[in-house]
């Protein structure tokens, strides 16, 4: 038989077990936090990629609208072709605005349009306003109107809206953060 273990040895074993448990808890917490951060970064990167894809298609529609507003385009294009292209571009802009609601939902949805469907309650998010501005400009223009000088001014307004839109999307995606994130392991 073995001699009984004294209270001092029991205390040492208990302290060692407690120390090991605390270290294991700290390591587990750190690993859990790190895993959460990796998952959060992956989710943010996926959202950024989705926003970039949507932004590309919206910018394509903005550039088509800008081309339609050039005085030269109206001069070389027949009325039928011009109107067909204008309506196709209006459809692209409208679709871009509606797809944008997935990333930028309406705000103040408890104040305005409460009887509307949920995606259309409230006021349109300011990030989508530039697209709406270009849509409104293009809706007012036809092959016959405005004059070449007026068309040039209207086109400059559309370009300002396009730049505003690009700045908003870029601030959401933050390419500098993406570059840092992608280069941090290099």
Tell me the per-residue pLDDT of 67-104, one tens digit each, with 9 for 90 and over.
999 988 988 989 999 999 999 999 999 999 999 999 99
Query: Which parts of the chain have pLDDT scores under 70?
Result: 1-11, 109-110, 113-114, 178-186
The CA angle 173-58-103, to the nearest 5 degrees, is 50
* Within-domain flag for 10: no
SS3 78: coil
Is residue 57 in a domain? Answer: yes
Question: Does residue 32 lie in a domain region?
Answer: no
Confirm whether 15 is domain-assigned: no
Give backbone dihedrals phi and psi of 48, rounded to 5 degrees, phi first.
Answer: -60, -45
- Inter-CA distances, 65 with 96, 140, 165, 175, Å: 13, 12, 14, 26
- pLDDT above 70 covers what percent of the chain? 86
Token readout for 56 is: 């590309």
* Domain with 52 in it: 48-183
Residue 5 lies in a domain: no
What's the total number of domains in the chain?
A: 1
Does the pTM exceed 0.85?
no
Sign of CA dihedral 58, 60, 65, 69: positive
Q: Tell me whether residue 6 is in a domain.
A: no
63, part of any domain: yes
132 found inside a domain: yes
pLDDT of residue 153: 92
The predicted pLDDT at position 178 comes to 64
- Maximum Cα interatomic distance, the chain, rounded to a whole number of Å: 110
Q: What is the pLDDT of residue 90?
A: 98
Q: What is the pLDDT of residue 106?
A: 81
What is the structure's pLDDT at 59?
Answer: 96
């Amino acid at each position: 038989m073995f001699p009984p273990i004294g209270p001092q040895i029991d205390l040492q074993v208990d302290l060692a077990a407690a120390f090991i448990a605390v270290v294991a808890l700290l390591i587990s917490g750190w690993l859990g936090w790190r895993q959460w951060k990796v998952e959060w970064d992956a989710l943010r990167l996926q959202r950024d990629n989705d926003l970039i894809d949507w932004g590309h298609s919206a910018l394509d529609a903005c550039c088509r609208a800008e081309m339609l507003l050039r005085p030269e385009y109206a001069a070389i294009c027949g009325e039928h072709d011009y109107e067909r292209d204008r309506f196709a571009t209006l459809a692209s802009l409208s679709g871009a605005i509606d797809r944008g609601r997935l990333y930028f939902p309406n705000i103040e949805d408890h104040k305005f349009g409460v009887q509307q469907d949920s995606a259309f309650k409230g006021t349109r998010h300011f990030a989508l306003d530039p697209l709406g501005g270009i849509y409104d400009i293009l809706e007012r223009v036809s092959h016959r109107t405005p004059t070449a000088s007026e068309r040039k001014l209207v086109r400059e307004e559309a370009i300002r809206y396009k730049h505003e839109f690009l700045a908003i999307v870029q601030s959401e995606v933050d390419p500098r953060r993406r570059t840092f994130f992608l280069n941090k392991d290099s």
